[in-house]
C-alpha cells in the first residue's frame, strides 16, 4: 500500500503488516507528522524529497527511510524521532530554483541519530563529505562507499568508506558506556584517521592504500587495536598509537625507506603505567620505531616481524626517554637497530639480528639476549659486554679493547666472535671459554 503525507502539519499514518510505502515532499513532510507501524517483520519504505534541513518528524518501525535532499548548502537530516529504522539512506541532489537546475551540495549530514533506533546509514550517489552525529547511543553502521571526501563521526561506529580520500575524524561522546563500544574503520584511501582519547573499546582500522601521505592516530588503545595502514600506498606513512596496554596493538604496514625522497614509515607507540603493554608489528624495508611517544610511557613487550616471508625489515628504534622495553621477539627477517642502551638488560629472542649501531661506552648486559647475531657498531673501549653462552658478536667497529663475560657465573660457555675491524682491537679479558 502506498500512502502520501498531506499538507497537514499533524499527519498520522499507521501502516499495515504488509510492505507499505509512504511518501513525503518539502510541503508535506513536517515536524508534527507521525508515521507509525506496529509490525517489525515487514519491510516498509518511506521516501522523502526535501529541499532544506529536514524537520524532526516521528517515524516508527518503517524499516527503510530514503531521504533525497536538494540544496546548495550543507543541510542536515534530523533523526531525533526515528526508531525501528533498519536503513536510512541519504542522497544529496541538485537544486531546482526558478525552473533552473543548480548544482547542489553533496555533503551528507545526519544529526541526533540513536544507533539503537537507526541501525544503518547509507550514503547516496555523488556523496562528498559525511558527518554523522550519534546522540545517546553509539554503534551505527555507516555504508559510505559513494563518499569521496571527509568522514566525521561522533560515537563508536562501523564505517565502510573505502573511496573517501579525506580525513576521518571519529569523535567520542564523553559517555563511558557508549565510548567502550567497538570501532571498525575501512578507509582504504583515507588521508588520515584519528580516533579520540575517551574511546576504550576495540579499534580496527584498515587504511591500506591512502591517497597521498597516511597519518593514523589512535589516542587511546586500551581496548586493543588492529591497524593495517600504508601497505600499498607510495607516500609517507605515520602510525601513532597511544595508551597501549596488555590488550595489545597489532600493526601491519608496508615497505619503508631510510631515504627522505622515498616512502618513509614511522611507527610511534606509547604505553601505560602497566608492565605488560604489548605491540606486534609486521613491516618491510626500513621502519622508524618510537616506543614511548613524547617520553610518556614505554611499551614493554614487542613482537617484530616482516610482512612477507623472505622480505627483510629493519626496525630503527629511537632511544626511549622513560626506559626501554622488557622483552622482544624478532623473526629471522628482522634487524632491530638502535643505541646499546635500548638493548642492555632486556630479554630478546628469535632468529633475527640486533644492531647496536651507537652507544656510550659502558657495561652492556646482553645476558638475556638469544638471537642469531649481535652487531657492535661503536667502540665500547674495554668495558664489559655480558653475553649468554651461544652468543654471536659481530664487531662492525674497531674496539679499544674488548672485555666479554658470560652470564653463567664464571662457568664459561661458547661465543662466536666475528671481528670485521681489527686495527686497534685488543681482547682484554677473554671469557672462560671462547
pLDDT in tens, the chain (434 residues): 799 999 999 999 999 999 999 999 999 999 999 999 999 999 999 999 999 999 999 999 999 999 999 999 999 999 999 999 999 999 999 988 888 899 999 999 999 999 999 999 999 999 999 999 999 999 999 999 999 999 999 999 999 999 999 999 999 999 999 999 999 999 999 999 999 999 999 999 999 875 556 899 999 999 999 999 988 777 889 999 999 999 999 999 999 999 988 899 999 999 999 999 999 999 999 999 999 997 789 999 999 999 999 999 999 999 998 889 999 999 999 999 999 999 999 999 999 999 999 999 999 999 999 999 999 999 999 899 999 999 999 999 988 888 888 887 555 678 899 887 655 554 444 444 44
How far is it, in rounded angstroms, from Cα 168 to Cα 145? 14
The C-alpha atoms of residue 408 and residue 415 are separated, in whole angstroms, by 13
pTM for this entry = 0.93
| Cα distance between residue 332 and residue 285, in whole Å | 14
Map 316-362 to HEC letters: EECCCCCCCCCEEEECCCEEEEEEHHHHCCCEEEECCEEEEEECCCC
Q: Which long-range contacts (CB under 8 A, 24 or more apart) does 407-412 make?
A: 407/367, 407/368
Look at residue 99 in the predicted model and tell me its pLDDT: 84
d(CA 143, CA 181): 18
Q: How many helices (H) and strands (E) does the chain have?
A: 1, 42
CA distances from 226 to 52, 153, 222, 295, 415 (A): 40, 19, 12, 23, 40
Dist CA 290 CA 193 (whole Å): 19
| Cell digits of residue 283 | 613491516
**pLDDT at residue 432, as a whole number:** 44
Instruction: Give all strands of the β-sheet with 427-429 in edge-to-edge order.
Output: 364-366, 384-387, 402-406, 427-429
- SS3 letters for 375-392? EECCCCCCCEEEECCCEE
Q: What's the pLDDT at 410?
A: 55
72: which DSSP letter? S
Amino acid at each position: 500500500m502506498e500512502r502520501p503525507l498531506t499538507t497537514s502539519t499533524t499527519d498520522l499514518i499507521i501502516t499495515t503488516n504488509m510492505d507499505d510505502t509512504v511518501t513525503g515532499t518539502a510541503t508535506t513532510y513536517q515536524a508534527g507528522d507521525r508515521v507509525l507501524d506496529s509490525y517489525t517483520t515487514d519491510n516498509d519504505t518511506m521516501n522523502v524529497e526535501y529541499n532544506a534541513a529536514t524537520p524532526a518528524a516521528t517515524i516508527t518501525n518503517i524499516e527503510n527511510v530514503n531521504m533525497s535532499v536538494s540544496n546548495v548548502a550543507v543541510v542536515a537530516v534530523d533523526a531525533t524521532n526515528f526508531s525501528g529504522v533498519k536503513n536510512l539512506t541519504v542522497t544529496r541532489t541538485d537544486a531546482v530554483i526558478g525552473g533552473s537546475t543548480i548544482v547542489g551540495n553533496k555533503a551528507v549530514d545526519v544529526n541526533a541519530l540513536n544507533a539503537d533506533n537507526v541501525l544503518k546509514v547509507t550514503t547516496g550517489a555523488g556523496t562528498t563529505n559525511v558527518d554523522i552525529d550519534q546522540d545517546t547511543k553509539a554503534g551505527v553502521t555507516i555504508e559510505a562507499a559513494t563518499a569521496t571526501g571527509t568522514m566525521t563521526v561522533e560515537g563508536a561506529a562501523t564505517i565502510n568508506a573505502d573511496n573517501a580520500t579525506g580525513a576521518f575524524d571519529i569523535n567520542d561522546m564523553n559517555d563511558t558506556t557508549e565510548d567502550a563500544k567497538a570501532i571498525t574503520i575501512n578507509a582504504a584511501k583515507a588521508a588520515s584517521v584519528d580516533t579520540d582519547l575517551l574511546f576504550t573499546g576495540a579499534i580496527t582500522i584498515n587504511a591500506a592504500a591512502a591517497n597521498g601521505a597516511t597519518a593514523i592516530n589512535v589516542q587511546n588503545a586500551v581496548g586493543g587495536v588492529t591497524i593495517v595502514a600504508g601497505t600499498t600506498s607510495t607516500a609517507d606513512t605515520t602510525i601513532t598509537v597511544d595508551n597501549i596496554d596488555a590488550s595489545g596493538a597489532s600493526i601491519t604496514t608496508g615497505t619503508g625507506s631510510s631515504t627522505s625522497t622515498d616512502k618513509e614509515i614511522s611507527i610511534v607507540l606509547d604505553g601505560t603505567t602497566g608492565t605488560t603493554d604489548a605491540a606486534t608489528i609486521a613491516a618491510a624495508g626500513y621502519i622508524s620505531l618510537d616506543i614511548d611517544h613524547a617520553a610518556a610511557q614505554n611499551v614493554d613487550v614487542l613482537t617484530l616481524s616482516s610482512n612477507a616471508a623472505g622480505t627483510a625489515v629493519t626496525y630503527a628504534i629511537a632511544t626511549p626517554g622513560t626506559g626501554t622495553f622488557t622483552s622482544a621477539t624478532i623473526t629471522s627477517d628482522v634487524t632491530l637497530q638502535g643505541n646499546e642502551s635500548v638493548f642492555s638488560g632486556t630479554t630478546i629472542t628469535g632468529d633475527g639480528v640486533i644492531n647496536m649501531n651507537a652507544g656510550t661506552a659502558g657495561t652492556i648486559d646482553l645476558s638475556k639476549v638469544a638471537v642469531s647475531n649481535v652487531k657492535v657498531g661503536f667502540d665500547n673501549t674495554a668495558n664489559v659486554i655480558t653475553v649468554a653462552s651461544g652468543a654471536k658478536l659481530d664487531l662492525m667497529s674497531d674496539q679499544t679493547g674488548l672485555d666479554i663475560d658470560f652470564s653463567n657465573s664464571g662457568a664459561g660457555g661458547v661465543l662466536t666472535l666475528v671481528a670485521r675491524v681489527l686495527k686497534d682491537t685488543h681482547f682484554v679479558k677473554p671469557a672462560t671459554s671462547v
